[in-house]
Amino acid sequence: MKIVVITGSTRGIGHGLADSFLALGCGVVISGRTVKVIEEVRADLSLRYGAERVFDHPCDVTDFEQVEALWNKAQGHFGKVDIWINNAGISHAQMEFWKHTPEEIRAVVQTNLMGMMHGCVVALQGMLEQGFGSIYNMQGLGSDGRQMKGLTLYGSTKYGVAYLTTGLVKETKGTAVVVGSLSPGMVVTDLLTSQYQERPEEWEQAKRIFNILADRVETVTPWLAERVLANKKSGARIEWLNGRKMAWRFLSAPFRKRDLFGRDGVPI
C-alpha cells in the first residue's frame, strides 16, 4: 500500500487528491491549519474508505517545525512515506501588484514558496534516509512564465516553484528519490473563484472562459492520482490541461454546452 502525504488537503484539489488516492487503495495523510476541519475531513474519508487508511495531522507549511512534525507523524503511523505532495497554497484578489499590503505579500510568498521549500527539504531528507520516495510540487498560473494582469504576486511564487522543482530534479539525479510536478490546469475551486467576490461585474465574462477551459475537482484529481502512482521518472510534469486540449476546447466551444456553475453562480 502506497502512503501519500498531501499538504493543504482539507479542501479543493488537495481534498480531491486525498479522495482519489484512497479510491486507488492508498493510505493517505491529510493536513491543514485548522484542527476541527481536519478532523471532519478525516471522519468523512474514514467512513468511506476505512479508518486504517486515513491519518491526519495539523500543519502550517510556513512553519518548518510543523512540516517536520507532519513527516515524523506520518512515517511513525504508517512506517513509511512513498509520496509527498506539496499542494498547500493561497491566492489573492486580482489587483495591481503595488496595491498589495506587505501582509498580503508576506502571506502569499511564505505559503506558496517558503511552504513548498519547507516541504521539499523535509521530504527529501526523509526519503533519502529511507531510500525511496517521490515528491510532487503543485504548479499554477505563472509556473510556465505565462502572465496575467493582477496576478503578478501569485504568479511570481509559482514561477519560483517551477525553478525549485527543476533544480531539485538535477540535484537528486542518481538518488532513489523522484521529483516531479503536477499541473491541474484550471480547476473550479474557491481559490479560482474567490478573486471575483469583489468584482462581480467581471464574473460573467470570467465564467464563460471557465466553462470552456475549467474542470471540476472530481474530474481532474483521479487522473492526476493515477499518473502519480504510475510514474517512475524524475522530472515528470503531469499536466491535465495542455496546449492541444486548450485549443480543442476553444474550437469545440460553440458546439458543446458546459456549465460548471449553478444558478447562483457558484461551483456545483
The H-or-E segment that residue 74 falls in is: helix 64-78
| 23 three-class SS | helix
Please name the residues in contact with 24: beta carbons below 8 A apart, sequence gap of 6 or more. Answer: 225, 226, 229
Distances (CA, A) of 265 to 183, 187, 192: 25, 15, 13
Closest to 61 (Cα-Cα) out of 193, 161, 180, 163: 161
Distance of alpha carbon 135 from alpha carbon 124, whole angstroms: 8
User: Could you give the residue numbers annotated as active site?
Assistant: 154
Distance of alpha carbon 59 from alpha carbon 82, whole angstroms: 19
